[in-house]
């Protein structure tokens, strides 16, 4: 019984930590490097007939060249809403509309902008690390309650806490690797 309580707690915590890592990965993908990528805009919320919808649901997105992104709305009535959403986003790019497609041309990144983007990525990574540590704390708190209720022993609690710290370190290490990769990508000229 003791092992099942601890393992259930661990599985739940690991699942939540994995989701936090996946969220951080998505956040990293949204920070642009020197290349155009559909990930930069596909989750952009567009107000479409009174409802906020991700751009990828109302338009096709393609990359014909390294620095150009083409957005082809499925409904031409959504053109202005898509343009508004792009202008309101933090991309810092003005869309050009020819009546059928929206073209986004990404300028080359200067050194100053690259350093700003590295700071943004570091902040996102730190947020993810805080989320992982908060999950560890919540899991630890649950285990302490179970221990106070007499369902697990103090020794079991200590072993579980050590294992929880090890797992947390693994996830934080994974975030550090992702951060290093993204920084290298951003600083690449």
d(CA 122, CA 142): 30
Residue 180, burial from CB neighbour count under 10 angstroms (0-12, 13-18, 19+):
exposed
Are 30 and 40 within 8 A, CB to CB? yes
Q: Looking at the structure, give the CATH architecture of the domain made up of residues 38-105.
A: 2-Layer Sandwich (3.30)
> What CATH code is assigned to 2-29+110-187?
1.10.132.20
Delimit the CATH 1.10.132.20 region(s) of the chain. 2-29+110-187
Q: What is the pLDDT along the chain (189 residues), one digit of tens a residue?
A: 567 888 899 899 999 999 999 999 888 877 766 677 787 788 789 998 888 999 899 999 998 988 888 999 998 888 989 999 888 887 778 888 888 899 988 877 788 878 888 888 899 899 999 999 999 999 999 999 988 988 888 898 899 999 999 999 999 999 999 999 988 888 876
pLDDT of residue 116: 82
pLDDT of residue 37: 79
Are 88 and 81 within 8 A, CB to CB? no
């Amino acid at each position: 019984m003791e092992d099942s309580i601890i393992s259930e707690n661990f599985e739940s915590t690991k699942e939540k930590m994995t989701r936090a890592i996946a969220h951080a990965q998505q956040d990293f993908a949204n920070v642009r490097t020197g290349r155009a990528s559909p990930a930069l805009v596909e989750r952009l919320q567009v107000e479409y007939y009174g409802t906020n919808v991700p751009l990828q649901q109302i338009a096709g997105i393609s990359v014909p060249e390294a620095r150009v992104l083409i957005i082809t709305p499925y409904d031409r009535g959504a053109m202005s809403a898509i343009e508004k959403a792009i202008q309101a986003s933090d991309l810092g790019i003005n869309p050009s509309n020819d009546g059928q497609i929206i073209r986004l041309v990404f300028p080359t990144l200067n050194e100053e902008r690259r350093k700003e983007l590295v700071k943004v990525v570091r902040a996102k990574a730190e947020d993810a690390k805080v989320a992982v540590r908060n999950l560890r704390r919540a899991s630890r708190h649950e285990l302490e309650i179970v221990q106070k209720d007499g369902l697990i022993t103090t020794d079991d609690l200590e072993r579980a806490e050590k294992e929880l710290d090890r797992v947390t370190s693994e996830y934080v290490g994974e975030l550090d690797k992702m951060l290093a990769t993204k920084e290298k990508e951003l600083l690449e000229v």
